[in-house]
Structure 1
Amino acid sequence: MRFEFLVRRQNEGRFNSFPPVVPMLRQPALKPLGEDMAQSQSPKQSQRFQLSVVAVILAMSAVTLVAFSPSLVSLAQQSSVQVSQPLVTSSLTRLSTSTQTAERLQAVAWLGKHVTTPSTNELNTLAQALQTDSDPTVRASVANAFKQIAINQKQNPGAVGHARNVEPQLLEILESSYSKEKNAVVRRCIVEAAAQLTYPQAAYFITRAKQDSDPSVSAAAKEAEHARDLSTPAAFAPPLK
């Protein structure tokens, strides 16, 4: 009887001894940023989204590099000066004292490559070698070093002011050496060095060298004059029509 009563009460909807069990909703796991968007898009759209993310990262890296580049360049220049100055002194000493031609040539080549703002001592040592070295190949190399130094000064914005003060002295060295030089190859190298000077008076020396007795020297002077004319705009040139 008791069992039948309970069954009847349950059928009538009045048996509520136990609350209904509500199943727990399982929350989906969170996906990484962009993965859900990528899955909801087509393969082409997903690829474009990934490329866009890469482009943004690269752009941010480029901005960071530009922001720090001035300090990096400044540090590199300071390191170069600290390292090269003892080598400049050593090369000048080898040029003026070494009895081996190969060593003097090596010293001159290094000086021409690395010197940008020559001091008075450096100019005097090079001038002494250009005028008195017994080997014409060394003298020609010194003239080429002067040429390279003039180029170095033009390519370095920080050396423009120094070049204005040095070039008159440099031209005087070249003119004096040219007048005493008997080797045509060395004279030609001297003319080619003068051609790299922006000092206006260098044009007069080049005009004089056009009358050199050696055809190779006069040809080098004519070529130097033509190159200077192209690099210096004419002040009174007629306007183009």
Structure 2
Amino acid sequence: MTTDTPDTPAGAEAFLMSEYQSLQMLHQIAKDEGDKRLTFYITFIAAIGTVLAATGYFNGATPATTVWLLVGGATFAILIGLITFRKMLQRRVAIVIYRRRLARIRAWFVAHYPEIAAGLPYDTMQDLPMDWGRYRFGSTALSIVLINSFVAGVVALFVVVALAPGLVALGLLVALLVGALSWGLHLRWKWRWIAAAEVRDVRDRQRLDEIAKRPSPPTETAVSLHTQVPDNTEIGHG
């Protein structure tokens, strides 16, 4: 963000500093919440597996009973996994938008006080792509995708083996196919979600740019700075 005039309204610096601190806090909350959700989901999946193994369902149950137990347990686990993945997508969008807004505020200060640019630890024009980290396998969202796909594949393997104990090779093949299908569907969901979020954010930033280009009102009739910032209701912490 740039400005054409060196003059700034009274209280602008304090207002932007307050906004910067608020955005930084929300950004950190979104990051921490993602880590907590991932930890919860891993614990949840491990607990389901432990309970099923400890009760001995897969040792003395008939094939039909085993299949029903697997399908029921997997349905519940995958449902929780999909909800968790959706929350991770919301979190990713929120983090990127917070970083973009923080960069916008930094750019404003550099435009008014160029001498501070040398001391800033971040790029003042930082504009992360909405799908930043798409191929980072250590990211929380992709960790959820990996777990969901693994669970789907393992369940498919057990179902095939329970129905046909001698077809382990077929079960492995089915497990790989189901896992790959789950992976692809998750990524497709992620890309569609990210694309929609990018459209919303571009529209919101265009509104901000339009507001920035408006002539400043006289001091005695100036409106509150808070009314000049659009309410981005699409941002959620997940």
Higher RCO, 1 vs 2 (CA within 8 Å, ≥6 residues apart): 2
Structure of higher CA gyration radius: 1
Would you call these one fold, judging by a TM-score over 0.5?
Answer: no
User: Normalising to structure 1: TM-score of the pair?
Assistant: 0.30
User: Normalising to structure 2: TM-score of the pair?
Assistant: 0.30
